[in-house]
Amino acid sequence: MSTAMPTAVRFAPSPTGRIHVGNVRLALVNWLFARKTGGSFLFRLDDTDEERSTQDFADGIAQDLTWLGLTWDRFARESDRYPRYDEAASGLKAAGRLYPCYETPEELSLKRASLVSQGRPPIYDRAALRLTDADRARLEGEGRKAHWRFKLNPTPVEWTDLVRGPVHFEGTALSDPVLIREDGRPLYTLTSVVDDADFAITHIIRGEDHVANTAVQIQIFEALGAAVPAFAHLPLLTDAGGQGLSKRLGSLSVGSLRDEDGIEPMAVNSLLAKLGTSDPIEARLTLDELVAEFDLSKIARGTPKFDPEELARLNARILHLTPFERVADRLAALGLSGADAVFWEAVRANLTRLEDARDWWAVTHAPVTPLVEDAGFLAQAAALLPDEPWDLGTWGAWTNAVKGATGRKGKELFLPLRRALTGRDHGPELKNLLPLIGRARAVRRLGGETA
């Protein structure tokens, strides 16, 4: 019997803003990987940045994930776990891996500037390790509070990244990271590792901006005596112009796509699941379909670009494929309480977002001002309207009769009828709309009346 640990992944945003499509791509890839492998998905709030983290942002992120269908199996909040981080830090101090430093931000900035001016990497010089007990007592007597750095081993750090392949860092090229601030609060570099170890995370799938962090965090895992997870670093998503995304700037936020642009959640999922992979981007109606097609090895190293126009096309295609049962409640919420499967089948192929259904409901159920250019022709056509009941064959039978009586055909025949019946030049097929408009309303519109 296998003793392998069950797959466990996590999505760990900081609640300092609403998530954007770049964050969602990482959440989605983690979620799909968990479902594909039969593992678990942890939603963890990395909220130790207390100055910028808010409950509103935390609630908003949860709302966005839920809207997308990315439900979580486990939840954690870093701000609930400070005693655990204190415990881990105490162990690292006792092992000589955490040491106190007293430089001010200004002093550190001058050190970095000096190294850069010499063409050297801005690696901390470990001056604090040369302090005596008397030096530390003097500095603390001056009111300085220590921040604590992790002492890295000089040995190389290597791993086989599931996206990037073999990765190598020279230990001597890395700078000892600060793990605990002057006020005693732990930083992400420590808290993330402690959480990943405690929650038995087996795979860390995140953006390539964390590659250098990974080299450092691998040593922290080892210092804590924890198993080192597998890593996959994805290229960061950019907008269509190649610019990076920022949740602080509201770049392509999930909330704006949903509330302002009327985008369907599966349009977002369908695009982001395949963006930057070798698979074609196609509309999918369910996450189960995306799970079945998911393969982490298909993610390429090139920078993927998010194109809102491509998302809009996918959104329309998804609406065109969606059965009435999946939108019935939402149509009612839009005020279309009488909308049924017949109406939906008639109009869905002409929708770019669900709210567009309101327009076609108005065309079929509310007064419309007809566009009349040739009243005589429309009067002839009205006289040929068959009696009800009408069905999908009514339009063809009627227009054939009008064609025979007037000699008109093609655009010359159909466009004046469409303009009179709908007040528009384009729209759903009139064979579908005509039965919904009904004979009484059609006669009045063909006569030039608003009806």
In whole angstroms, give the CA distance from residue 74 to residue 25: 19
Helix ranges (H only) for 131-279 are 133-141, 188-198, 211-223, 254-259, 265-274
Within 10 A of 316 (CB to CB), how many other CB atoms are there? 20
pLDDT band at 5 (very low <50, low <70, confident <90, very high): confident
Measure Cα distances from 167 to 186, 226, 235 in Å. Answer: 27, 20, 15
Q: Where are the domains of the chain?
A: 1-76+189-321, 83-180, 325-356, 375-446
Does the domain formed by 375-446 have CATH 2.150.10.10? no
**1-76+189-321 CATH pick, 3.40.50.620, 3.30.300.30, 3.40.50.720, 3.60.21.10:** 3.40.50.620
Which residues are within 8 A (CB) of 193 and not within 5 positions of it... i.e. 6 or more apart?
217, 220, 221, 224, 226
71-119 residue pLDDT tens:
999 999 999 999 999 999 999 999 999 999 999 999 999 999 998 999 8
Mean pLDDT of 383-410: 97
Measure Cα distances from 420 to 57, 190, 329, 372, 439 in Å. Answer: 50, 69, 32, 6, 13
Amino acid at 409: K
pLDDT at 22 over 60: yes
Four-CA torsion 108, 157, 277, 70, nearest 10 degrees: -70
pLDDT band at 242 (very low <50, low <70, confident <90, very high): confident
What radius of gyration, in Å, describes the C-alpha atoms of the chain?
A: 31
pLDDT band at 1 (very low <50, low <70, confident <90, very high): very low
Closest CA to 240 of 206, 278, 271: 271
pLDDT band at 2 (very low <50, low <70, confident <90, very high): very low
Measure Cα distances from 240 to 261, 303, 308 in Å. Answer: 17, 11, 8
- pLDDT for position 250: 56
What predicted TM-score, i.e. pTM, was given to this entire model? 0.93
Mean pLDDT of 22-39: 97
- pLDDT for position 241: 78
Strand partners, 305: 238
| Token representation of residue 45 | 């709030």
Judge contact between 276 and 298, C-beta under 8 A. no
Closest CA to 158 of 167, 150, 149: 167
Phi, psi of 405 (to 5 degrees): -80, -30
- pLDDT for position 244: 78
335-363 residue pLDDT tens:
998 999 999 999 999 999 999 999 999 99
Query: Token match 């990943």: residue?
Result: 196
Point out the least confidently predicted range of 41-55, 338-352, 384-398. Answer: 41-55
Q: Which CATH superfamily is domain 83-180 in?
A: Glutamyl-tRNA Synthetase; Domain 3 (3.90.800.10)
Mean pLDDT of 415-421: 97
Query: Token match 């830090």: residue?
Result: 89
Closest CA to 281 of 261, 311, 309: 311
The per-residue pLDDT of the chain, averaged, comes to 95
Judge contact between 39 and 7, C-beta under 8 A. yes
Amino acid at 333: A
Q: Can you list the positions of beta strands (E) in 102-190?
A: 147-150, 157-161, 165-169, 178-180
The helix/strand/coil state of 180 is strand
pLDDT at 246 over 80: no
| Token representation of residue 350 | 């002409």
| Token representation of residue 68 | 């997308």
Mean pLDDT of 158-165: 97
Mean pLDDT of 115-134: 93
Measure Cα distances from 93 to 82, 86, 89, 104, 183 in Å. Answer: 16, 10, 6, 21, 17
Strand partners, 238: 244, 305
- pLDDT for position 174: 95
Phi, psi of 7 (to 5 degrees): -60, 135
